Amino acid sequence: MPEEVLRARAYLLRTVEPPSRDLVRLIEQHGPVEVADRVRRGAVPEALLERAAARRGADTSEADLAEAAAAGSRLLVPEDPQWPGWQFAAFDTTRRADLAPPVALWARGPGDPSILADRSVTVVGARGATRYGLHAAADFASVLARRGVTVFSGAAFGIDAAAHRGALAAGGRTVAVLACGPDRVYPAAHAELIERIADTGLVLTEYPPGTVPGRLRFLVRNRLLAALGAGCLVVEAGTRSGSKRTASDAVALRRPLMALPGPVTSAMSVGCHELIRSRRAELVGRPEDVLEIIGRLGADLAPERVAERRPTDGLATGTLAVHDALPVRAAWSAARIGEVAGVAPDAVRIALVELEGRGLVEYHQGLWQRPARRSGP
């Protein structure tokens, strides 16, 4: 990759706080090197110039590239074959000004983003997750990872961490998208987890070295999570959960949105229930449901649920009435059974023969009774 392209995009990442649809369009028209020069000279539209005013005079691109490299990161740019261009093309389908593709991404880890995002799901949810939510997130991520699905999440406490750990435990692939610089770890308590993700998968951020996380940056980061996954799964979410912002972005980017239902008494499932009730999200109850929604058409269908069969399944109404009339701890004649069941004598005899063939009744010395319950050996 030409050094001038990397330098130009690193400069623009630092100069204009993302997202900026105006900057992206200008780069598409004139290329990153030309646009970087225009920004330095102030020869850009007024709105963009205002956003770049505070930083355009200081070009720290060389230092940013060096600091990122020292932290084990590289700058991934749209000119790179590994750029997830197909996924980010979704930004062109919405008119929301806050949904624009990144100018570039800092990446740490051996993974190829274009491949990792091809068969993937974004898993998000509450930081203050319940045991139910943590178990579900880890279980879903583990099963999906074993089926070759990359799990994207934000490495936060709660559902994010559970999803990452579930994928790692299954030996699968997972990607963390952060809201801070590539030389920082947030949350600090997840330093080991993020390192494990970087060892086998990928850690991504669009913020330059030294950038500290902030509430707005988390919200901005969420659009990348929404775009990179082939679908978005919300495991738990409160009424004001940031996960609902990711869900909103996913819908705007035309990504399938899924939500896991929870106990009606749980405040951490209110957001999921609202998404399902409003029909913005598809209800999923098992990992196979998720795979069917995000997977290959006709190839990843969820198997039908097999209901538990009872010995009396399929019995005709009269036969079932005869079975119900059988005493629990006694033996009766066919005539007495027919009287209790309200079934004609001939029909009673036919029913008793069928029930005997199914092992549901036993005949002893002219009387009929339910089979004795036998204990195991």
Q: Is the pLDDT of residue 13 over 50?
A: yes
Using pLDDT thresholds of 50, 70 and 90, give the confidence band for residue 297.
Answer: low
pLDDT for 59 equals 93
Q: Is the pLDDT of residue 302 over 70?
A: no
pLDDT for 171 equals 95
pLDDT for 318 equals 87
Arithmetic mean of pLDDT, 24-41: 96
Q: Is the pLDDT of residue 242 over 90?
A: no
pLDDT tens digits, one per residue of 250-277? 999 999 999 999 999 999 999 999 999 9
pLDDT tens digits, one per residue of 350-366? 888 888 888 888 888 88
Q: Is the pLDDT of residue 376 over 60?
A: no
Arithmetic mean of pLDDT, 335-344: 88
Q: Which residues pair with 204 in a beta bridge?
A: 107, 177
Arithmetic mean of pLDDT, 116-143: 96
Using pLDDT thresholds of 50, 70 and 90, give the confidence band for residue 303.
Answer: low
pLDDT for 70 equals 95
Distance CA 152, CA 125 (A): 12
- First CA to last CA across the chain, in angstroms? 73
pLDDT for 301 equals 54
Q: What is the chain's Cα-based Rg?
A: 30
Q: Is the pLDDT of residue 377 over 50?
A: no
Query: E strands along the chain, which residues?
Result: 74-76, 105-108, 120-124, 150-153, 174-177, 202-205, 232-234, 257-259, 282-283, 362-364, 367-369
* CA count, 13 A, side-chain hemisphere, 270: 8
Q: Minimum mean pLDDT among 267-271, 306-310, 334-338: which range? A: 306-310
Predicted TM-score (pTM) of this structure: 0.82
Using pLDDT thresholds of 50, 70 and 90, give the confidence band for residue 374.
Answer: very low
pLDDT for 346 equals 87
pLDDT for 375 equals 40
Residue 151 has φ and ψ, to the nearest 5°, of -100, 115
Q: Is the pLDDT of residue 33 over 70?
A: yes
